[in-house]
Structure 1
C-alpha cells in the first residue's frame, strides 16, 4: 500500500511539474504586441486613448532586431496602470500600404504614438531597447507637463545635458496656461515640459518673476532664455529656434547627438565645418567660425562644427576626403551642395558672404565613367545618368546606394541575381549609382536613405520601389511595371 501511495505521489509531483512547464510555455508563447492590418486598424486604434504602432517590413534587419525588445516592452507595459498597448503592422504587405502612406512611413521600422483614438499622431523618438521603451512610454502616457513644487523637484527634472521647458505661472489656469499646456501636448515627444508657481525653485534665471513666462533651459550658449509671447505658434517657433546651439558640436560625446539630429532636420541652410579639433591652430578656426555664426544668426542658416574622427560617416555621405580638411560644406534648403576645401580662418567670412550673394557655384561631383561596364548590374555615374536611364529607351531599375551601408550590401547579391535573370532581355537594365560619390540633380529622385530604388519604365513612368527584397519580389515588380521598348531607329526617325 505504501508503495502504491508513493507511486501516486510521484505521479502527482510529475503532473504538477509538467503543468508548471506548460504554464510557463503558455506565458512565454503569449504575444503581447497586437498584430494589426488594414481590416482592424481603425477599429482597434479608435478604442485606445494611447497606443503605439510599429510599421515594419519582414525583410528589414533593424525590424528583426527591434522585435524581441518591442515584445518584452509590451509584456512589461501590459501590467502598467493603466496598461499601455503596443501594436505592429506589416507595412510591406500590399493591402497595408495605404496605412503606411497615411502615416507617412518613409523607412523601417517606423513607430508612431497615437492618442485620443488616433486623432493625434506623434513620432516615437525614444530608445529601441526594452527598458528604454518602457520608461519613454510611461512618460509619454502621463501628463504632458510635470508640476515642479520644490528646488529638489527642479534639480531632478532639469539636469545639465538636455533641453527642458518650464512655464512659471501665478496660477494654473487662464489663457496663457492653456496655451502652454497645448504646446506641451504638441511637442511632448521632442522635449520635457514642467510648470511651477514659484520661480525660486528653478536653478537659473530671475527668481522673483511671477509670470506668466516660459523659461527654456539648455546645456549650451546662454544656458537659459525667457519668453513671454503665449501665442502657440510663437511659442513653438521660440522653442525650436532656441533648442539649436549657435554652433552644433558633432563629436563622439553621445549627449551631443540629439542636437546633431535637430541640426540635420532643420529646414535652414546647413553650414558645416569639418576639422581635426585636436590639431594645432584649430582654436583660431573655431573662434572665427563662431563669429561668423553670430553674424548670420537669424538669417536662415544653421552652423555645425564636426570633429574629423567622429565625422567619418558624414564624410562618406558627402563624398569628402580627409585631405580636404578643414573643409566647409553648405547644404542649401533646395538640396544643392557648396564646398570650400582646405579653408583657413580668415577665408571663412568672405566665402560665406560670396555664398549669400550667389557668387559660389554649386559643387557637383561625378565618379569617372567606367572604362569597362560588363558586370550584370551596370554602373551609372552622374555624368551617364541622363544617357543610361532617361535616353536608353529601356526599363531601368536603378539603386542608389552607399558602399558602407549594410542594407545595400545585403541587397547587392539579390540585384546581381535579378540582373542575371534579365541578362538576355535587351528591354531591361538593372543598374546602381554610388550616391556618396555622385550628385543626383534630377528632381524625379528623392534619395534620403540607402538603399533607395527607383524604376523608370521605357515609356518614362518613374516609381519608387518599396516592395520586398527578394529576387522574386523585384522581378514581379518589374514585370508588372515594364513597357515594351521603342527601337532606337524609330526614335531617330521620329526626331
Structure 2
C-alpha cells in the first residue's frame, strides 16, 4: 500500500511536468448539435469537437470528486441557456481521471478544472460557477468584437447586458474601425461598443463634454474614465491597458490572477481591515494617487481579510499599519526608507512621499516570506502545475530518504490542497481495493 501511495505521488508530480457555423456542425465522423445538453467527450472525439465548435467550455472532472459533483448541476442548468444564444456556446465534460492523455495535454492538475476553447485554443476559465452568473460571464465571448449602438436606449441596454465582470468601453462619436483592432486584441478582457448619434442626455450621464470620446466603465467598482484622444493606436491602447483595472483594487486570489499579464509593479497598501472607515478614507487617497501614477498598479489588502498574504510582506498583528510596499510580483518587494508606515494625519502627503521615495530609489529590497509558504503563495497566481515543477526536486529527495513517510507532501492553497489531497486519497483507496480483490 505504501508503494502505491508513492506511485500516486510521483504521478501527481509528473502530471504537472459558441460561435457556431449554424446550429449543427459536422465533422468527418461526428455531427455536433448545440441542443442544450452537456457533451460527453473522450480521447476519440475531443479534438473533433473543439475543432468543429468555435466556443466550448470544457469541464475536466473526476467521478469521485465532491467539488465536481456540486458543479455538474450548475453546468447542466447553464447549457440550454448558452445554447439558446444567437451565437451558441457549448458545454462539454471529460472524465480526466480516466482519460489521462487529455488531462496531461491540457495541464489539468486539480478537479474540477474548467477551460474555455475559443476556435480550438484553450484558456483558463476564471469566472463564476453559478449557472446564471456563468451564462452572463460567458456571453462576453460570443458577442461581436465591437457592438454598434444607435440610440440612448441601446446604450443603456448594452451596459445592462454587459454586467459587472468586465470593464466596458463605449466610443461616442467614433467609427467602429477606430477601435476594432484593439477590441479584438482585448476581447477576452472587456466589452467594446461605438455610438454614432450622441445626445446631450447621454453626455451628461457619462460625464463627457465633447466628441469623439472613449468612456471606460468599471461597474463593479463604480469607476468611470474619459479619453479624448489622440485616437492613434498607440495612445488608444495605452488608455485601454491602464483602465482595464480599477484605480485601487482589493487584493485577493481572483484579482491577483487578473494581474498575470500586466507588467506594471504593484503599490500594495496593507491595512488592518479594508472595510472600516479609516481604510475606506485611505483607499480614496490611493485612488487619487493612482490616477496621477498610471505607470503603477495600486492595490490594498486587509490583515483581517487575508492575513497569510499580508504576512508575506512582514505585516502581522504586531505591525504598525497601514504599511506600503512595492511588489513586482516575484519573490522580492521594496520598502521605502523613511516611509515604512502611514500615520493618521495628512495621509495624502505621506502617500506622495512614499511614491516619491520609491521613484528616487530610496528603497530597501526584501524577500517575500512569512508564515505563508512561498510555494503556496506562488500557487495563488501561477497555479499548481508551476508549483509542482518548483518542488519536484525537493520532493523527490524527501521521498527517497523517507520512503516510509505516512503522508504525501501537499502544496497549494485551500481548495487546491483539498483537490490534490482528494485525488491522492481516492487513487490510493482504489489501489488498495484492487489489491484486496
CA 1:56–1:327 in 2, change beyond 3 Å: closer, same or farther?
farther
What's the C-alpha RMSD, in Å, of the aligned pairs? 4.7
CA 1:332–1:107 in 2, change beyond 3 Å: closer, same or farther?
farther
- Give the TM-score, by structure 1 length: 0.57
8 Å CA contact 1:56–1:89 kept in 2: the answer is yes
The alignment status of 1:111 with 2:114, answered yes or no, reads yes
Partners of 2:174 and 2:325 in 1: how far apart? 48
Match of 2:167 among 163, 181, 185: 163
Deviations 1:7-58 (A, max 9, x none): xxxxxxxxxxxxxxxxxxxxxxx99211223332221222223322223345
CA 1:206–1:40 in 2, change beyond 3 Å: closer, same or farther?
same
Match of 2:425 among 455, 470, 475: 470
Deviations 1:274-328 (A, max 9, x none): 2245768668855765565456x144x3111334544456446767423323223
The alignment status of 1:196 with 2:151, answered yes or no, reads no
Partners of 1:348 and 1:230 in 2: how far apart? 34
Partners of 2:277 and 2:91 in 1: how far apart? 52
CA 1:215–1:359 in 2, change beyond 3 Å: closer, same or farther?
closer
CA 1:179–1:114 in 2, change beyond 3 Å: closer, same or farther?
farther
CA 1:273–1:84 in 2, change beyond 3 Å: closer, same or farther?
closer
The alignment status of 1:56 with 2:61, answered yes or no, reads yes
8 Å CA contact 1:269–1:333 kept in 2: the answer is yes
The alignment status of 1:96 with 2:102, answered yes or no, reads yes
8 Å CA contact 2:183–2:192 kept in 1: the answer is yes
CA 1:306–1:35 in 2, change beyond 3 Å: closer, same or farther?
same
The alignment status of 1:217 with 2:225, answered yes or no, reads no
Deviations 1:411-470 (A, max 9, x none): xxxxxxxx8x7149xxxx95567x89xxxxxxxxxxx994499xxxxxxxxxxx999423
Q: Which runs of 5+ in 2 are unaligned?
A: 1-34, 372-390, 432-437
Partners of 2:235 and 2:275 in 1: how far apart? 40
Residue 165 of structure 1 and its aligned partner are, at CA, apart by 0.8
8 Å CA contact 1:250–1:310 kept in 2: the answer is no
1:175-194 to structure 2, matched below 5 A, reads 177-178=176-177, 180-194=179-193
Equivalent pairs, count: 358
Residue 140 of structure 1 and its aligned partner are, at CA, apart by 3.2
SS at match of 2:144: coil
Partners of 1:358 and 1:141 in 2: how far apart? 48
Match of 2:132 in 1: 131
Deviations 1:55-96 (A, max 9, x none): 334555443321111122224444555654211233444221
SS at match of 2:71: helix
Q: Higher Cα Rg: structure 1 or 2?
A: 1
Partners of 1:95 and 1:154 in 2: how far apart? 46
SS at match of 2:150: coil
Q: Which runs of 5+ in 1 are unaligned?
A: 1-29, 172-176, 252-256, 368-387, 399-418, 437-447, 454-464, 477-495
CA 1:99–1:199 in 2, change beyond 3 Å: closer, same or farther?
farther
1:52-91 to structure 2, matched below 5 A, reads 52-58=57-63, 60-78=65-83, 83-91=88-96
8 Å CA contact 1:158–1:217 kept in 2: the answer is no
CA 1:169–1:355 in 2, change beyond 3 Å: closer, same or farther?
closer
Deviations 1:245-277 (A, max 9, x none): 3322569xxxxx986764576432222212245
CA 1:431–1:360 in 2, change beyond 3 Å: closer, same or farther?
same
8 Å CA contact 1:397–1:431 kept in 2: the answer is no
Residue 150 of structure 1 and its aligned partner are, at CA, apart by 1.4
CA 1:278–1:121 in 2, change beyond 3 Å: closer, same or farther?
closer
CA 1:471–1:62 in 2, change beyond 3 Å: closer, same or farther?
closer
